[in-house]
Structure 1
Amino acid sequence: MKTTRLSDPAVRAFVTALNSQDREAFLATLAPDATMADDGDDRDLDQWIDREIFSSHGHMEVDSESDGGRSLLARYRNDTWGEMRTRWRFTVDDAGRIARFETGQA
């Protein structure tokens, strides 16, 4: 699925920034107090973003979306783990920024 076709604007911006390795644009998609979880465990957002996305060249190929574009099934790859099938769920705040995202193997 092309990133430009993702339904939710906040999620579309998140995936676009992630795939272009644009840290500034990526951080702009997040609410100031955003949180996240990986495989059901809450993680330190800044450390996770650096380790799993930017220092390891993360990239997401979305296979499908549901829940108005706030749930994704995707193939995620980075230099550390290779490629894996993943699920992503996003909570978007009233300002249109991502307040929380949860990811893990699908």
Structure 2
Amino acid sequence: MAIQTSKLSDPAVRAFVAAVNAHDRDAFLDLLTPDATMSDDGSDRDLDDWIDREIFTSNGHMDVDTESDGGRALVAQYRNDTWGEMRTAWRFTITPDGHISRFETGQA
């Protein structure tokens, strides 16, 4: 059973999932530090290219199954128009002021 987005523990992660699911690129980018980085399956990627391709032009959507590490680690069913649905793991690095400086994702 998926965890409702509004019930996720970490405010930045909660806002990240909400922005992905609302396809709100501006809200998504507002959550990130200016120098934010990310990786997919262990390889660093160009953040702007990746989010456009994997989230915003392909109707990305996350249904969170579990959270750990105070809400900064998720296992979610992720789907988009390119790859279909897959079980994914997400880890977030959050700055003291509540922004995301890094996220890592990959198959779970």
Specify the TM-score bucket, using the shorter chain as the normaliser: over 0.9
**Aligned residue identity for 2:55:** I
Alignment match of 1:62 (pick from 64, 68, 73) = 64
Equivalent residue in structure 2 for 1:86, among 75, 88, 91: 88
5 Å matches for 1:12-91? Answer: 12-91=14-93
The aligned residue for residue 5 of structure 2 is 3
Task: Determine the C-alpha separation between the residues in 2 that align with 1:30 and 1:19.
Answer: 16
Percent pairwise identity: 73
SS of structure 2 residue aligned to 1:16: helix
- CA distance in 1 between counterparts of 2:14 and 2:93 reads 13
Q: CA deviation at 1:88?
A: 0.1
Taking the aligned partners of 1:53 and 1:5, their CA distance within structure 2 comes to 22
C-alpha separation between the residues in 2 aligned to 1:5 and 1:87? Answer: 18
Instruction: Tell me the TM-score normalised to structure 2 length.
Output: 0.97
* 1:48-86 residue CA offsets vs partner (Å, 9 max, x unmatched): 000000000000000000000000000000000000000
What's the Cα RMSD here?
0.4
Q: How many pairs are equivalent?
A: 106
Deviation at 1:31, TM superposition (A): 0.7
Structure 2 residue aligned with 1:95? 97
TM-score scaled by structure 1?
0.99
Cα displacement (A) at 1:95: 1.4
Distance (Å, rounded) in 2 between the aligned partners of 1:38 and 1:18: 16
| Residue identity in the other structure for 1:37 | S
CA distance in 2, matches of 1:18, 1:83: 15
